[in-house]
């Protein structure tokens, strides 16, 4: 049985679906996550969304605070609190059942908060005991485009929200996403165009077209 036929059989049965949308700041992760959620809700699925760092628990709030601190200490604290925040979400919400979709915005690529020398080790380590998804999307947005989006938001900037740091973060994220076989989406165009590129790769869309 070829892979496309397996996709059709699996998702016409409305099995549990786990989708990841990841990238750096200013990439449009939440916008695309919400569009995916609306697509599956309209198809009759029960959809759950988790975005990290999440602000509904102490670990997510501590991650956010550490990101705003900056410096080496903030760098390491953010990585530690972030992983705990993600694990908490999985314990609470990753419960596979029919007709349900879990979408996580910002997931394993959060290991890129770590120093470059530890990023691949961190990814391999954490992916051994937390679930991964065959539908993991990396929004490949140039640091210059991301920086312009962040600048227009006018909100308090996190420690990675400078053009130089965005470039370093993007380099690490793109390396891991490509190495690990993520679906890499051009995130520079307007959100509608990005959504159309993602939509055609979604399992239910592939099963009914």
Task: Please tell me the total count of domains within the chain.
Answer: 1
Report whether the peptide linkage leading into residue 123 is cis, meaning its omega lies within 30 degrees of zero. no
| pLDDT tier at 146, thresholds 50, 70, 90 | very high
pTM of the predicted model as reported, rounded to 2 decimal places? 0.87
Residue 106 · residue 51 · CB < 8 Å = yes
Q: Which residues 6+ apart lie within 8 Å of 144 measured at CB? A: 163
> Does residue 186 have a pLDDT over 90?
yes
Q: Which residue segment(s) compose the domain that 85 sits in?
A: 3-208
- Alpha-carbon distance of 126 to 2, in angstroms, equals 30
Q: Which residues 6+ apart lie within 8 Å of 197 measured at CB? A: 185, 186
> Does residue 1 have a pLDDT over 50?
no
- Alpha-carbon distance of 35 to 76, in angstroms, equals 32
pLDDT in tens, 147-169: 999 888 865 555 556 889 899 99
Query: The domain spanning residue 180 has which CATH number?
Result: 3.40.50.300
> Does residue 98 have a pLDDT over 90?
no
| pLDDT tier at 130, thresholds 50, 70, 90 | very high
Helix (H/G/I), strand (E/B), else coil: 1: coil
Residue 6: predicted pLDDT: 60
């Amino acid at each position: 049985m070829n892979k496309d036929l397996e996709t059709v059989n699996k998702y016409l049965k409305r099995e549990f679906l786990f989708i990841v949308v990841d990238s750096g700041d200013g990439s449009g992760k939440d916008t695309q996550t919400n569009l995916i959620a609306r697509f599956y809700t309209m198809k009759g699925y029960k959809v759950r969304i988790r975005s990290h760092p999440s602000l509904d628990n102490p670990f997510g709030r501590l991650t956010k605070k550490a990101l705003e601190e900056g410096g080496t200490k903030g760098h390491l604290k953010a990585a530690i609190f972030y992983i705990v925040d993600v694990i908490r979400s999985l314990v609470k919400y990753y419960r596979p059942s029919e007709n349900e979709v879990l979408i996580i915005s910002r997931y394993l690529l959060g290991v890129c908060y770590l120093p470059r020398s530890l990023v691949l080790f961190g990814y391999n380590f954490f992916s051994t005991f937390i679930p991964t998804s065959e539908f993991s999307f990396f929004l490949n947005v140039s640091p210059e485009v991301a920086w312009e989006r962040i600048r227009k938001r006018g909100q308090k900037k996190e420690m990675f929200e400078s053009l130089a740091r965005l470039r370093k973060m993007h380099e690490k994220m793109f390396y891991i996403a490509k190495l690990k076989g993520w679906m890499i989406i051009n995130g520079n165009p307007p959100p509608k165009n990005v959504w159309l590129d993602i939509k055609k790769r979604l399992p239910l869309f592939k099963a009914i077209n």
